[in-house]
Amino acid sequence: MPNGGIQLSIDLNSSAIAATIDRHGARIPVMLDGRLVMPHGVALDPSGHIQVGVPAASEPSVHHQFVSDPLELLGRPEADQPIDGVQLLAAQLWHVADQAARQAGEPITALTVTIPPNWGPRRRTQLADAAARASLPAPAMVTAPAALAAYTRTRGLTAPDGSCLLICQADRQPVTLTILQTSADGYHELATRSIDLPRDLNQVLAQRIVDAATSDDDPLRGEIAQPPHQDSLALLESVRQARQLLTAQDRAPVLLPAPRNPAVITHDDVARAAQPLLDRVHDAVRDTLDAADIDSQHLSCIILRQAEAVPGLQDRLTTATGPTPAVLADQSHALADGALTLAAPHHHAPTAANTHLPRVRLRVRDLTSALLLGACSLTLLLQAIFTADVTTTFLRVVGVRTSLPQLGAAGALAMLTAFAVAHLAPTTWLAGAHSTTPSEPATGSLIRRGYLAAAVGAQSPPASTASPPAPPSDTTTAHT
């Protein structure tokens, strides 16, 4: 990486945005407005000002336009987008990059972005456009399953080349299954499938809690079916936090809107709410394996990532595949770190020592410039000899006066000739057609023109050759 810059990796595929910087080999998580992660929510006020990192539970007033995730606007026809999703995404990227640059004290010189596995050229192009609008480098895009596999590899979970991995991402709805095949240069995606459910797991669990804790005439029951309501958004956020607590404990509280009393949920409550998801896991795994044209014995390992507890999901995956999944929970920067690992070779900074120069296709006639340099050197040398003032006594040469600038120019051209021949001769191809684009000269053409210009300039004799004998300070004298 060039001096005075850092490499930034942004995870846009998790339930919250996370970022990591690589500063001269050290991996540092980026603090986004004082937090390790930032919500996807974006609010647009009537004046056009964009506010990023807005949580869904604190949705702004009706005078603002709120978007839960700008990624959901990408890939749609422009007529179906009341808001420019690319501009909102550009604001997100710029905000994260600004926080990273301020934290590191250096500019961003390379960018990596984690994207969903089902993105094609259209949304990838829109992401690149958003990075350009944010004045950021062109992003290297890494799919979330590949980033997750790379992260687990850095944690010691290895898979031989040619083997397959099943990646289950249950940290964000919908749950996604992806088959990856390992190779020497990374991972190749074979198939991906989403388990689509009519309602989000948090919504199902919140509805069960409300039904058990409130009366039939409680207005909260109707509000749960309409998540944009402020009370329902706060309840969904409380359910999400409770499920996170269940990854480390058996019971967790859920705060209901006042004046209602809090409720308590357990693993069994989440398991009952997740039953529709669990019932579809086996068929979804079978369909994904069939789409990848592999069997379960081709799988070397299973990777399960879940931000909140989904009791029974690990057991269902084991039943459907055989191997026990490796579970990653509460790893907010897993995808950002994994994507940084995969993209690091592509962001390797070119230097004079490691840059591969293009192969130059030359022929015998390409040595013409070097031969002209040699002829000029010989001409100056002969001119210095023939114009020398020779002193003789009784037919015996006793002294020679010649021009020192001419001898120096002849020596310099001789050295340049030797250098040109040494540089061009080993790369000269004695056969083969030579073709160049008229509008873009090839490297070999530039080299030839450079030497030819030097040869033409050297053909003009120094002024001392046309002048009277040089003064003693510019001449050399030999006595015998």
How confident is the model at residue 218, as a pLDDT? Answer: 67
Query: Which residue type is seen at 310?
Result: V
Model pTM? 0.67
Phi-psi map region of 458: left, alpha, beta (phi>0 left; psi -120 to 50 alpha) = alpha
Residue that is written with structure tokens 């033409």 in the block? 456
Closest CA to 138 of 322, 303, 343: 343
User: Cα–chain-centroid distance for residue 76?
Assistant: 24
Q: Among residues 77, 47, 80, which one has the least CA distance to residue 65?
A: 47
pLDDT at 207: 83
Q: Please tell me the predicted confidence (pLDDT) of residue 89.
A: 94
C-alpha angle 84/89/90, rounded to 5°?
Answer: 95
Q: Compute φ and ψ for 324, nearest 5 degrees.
A: -80, 125
Domains of the chain: 1-138 (3.30.420.40), 159-330 (3.30.420.40), 364-430+441-479 (no CATH)
Please give the pLDDT value at position 397: 75
Report DSSP state, residue 304.
E
Query: For residues 97 and 104, what is the distance between their CA atoms, to the nearest angstrom?
Result: 10
For residue range 113-131, what is the model confidence (pLDDT) as tens digits? 999 988 899 999 999 999 9
Low-confidence ranges of the chain (pLDDT < 70): 1-5, 56-63, 78-81, 216-231, 330, 345-367, 421-480
- Ramachandran class of 421: left when φ > 0, alpha when ψ lies in -120 to 50, beta otherwise: alpha
Q: pLDDT (tens digit, 9 = 90+) per residue, 355-405? A: 444 555 566 666 677 777 778 878 877 887 778 787 888 778 777 787 788
Residue 454 confidence (pLDDT): 54
**Are residues 109 and 21 in contact, defined by beta-carbon separation less than 8 angstroms?**
no
Q: Do residues 382 and 459 make contact, with C-beta atoms less than 8 angstroms apart? A: no
Distance CA 212, CA 125 (A): 48
CA 300/CA 159 separation, integer angstroms: 6
How many other C-beta atoms lie within 10 A of the C-beta of residue 131?
23
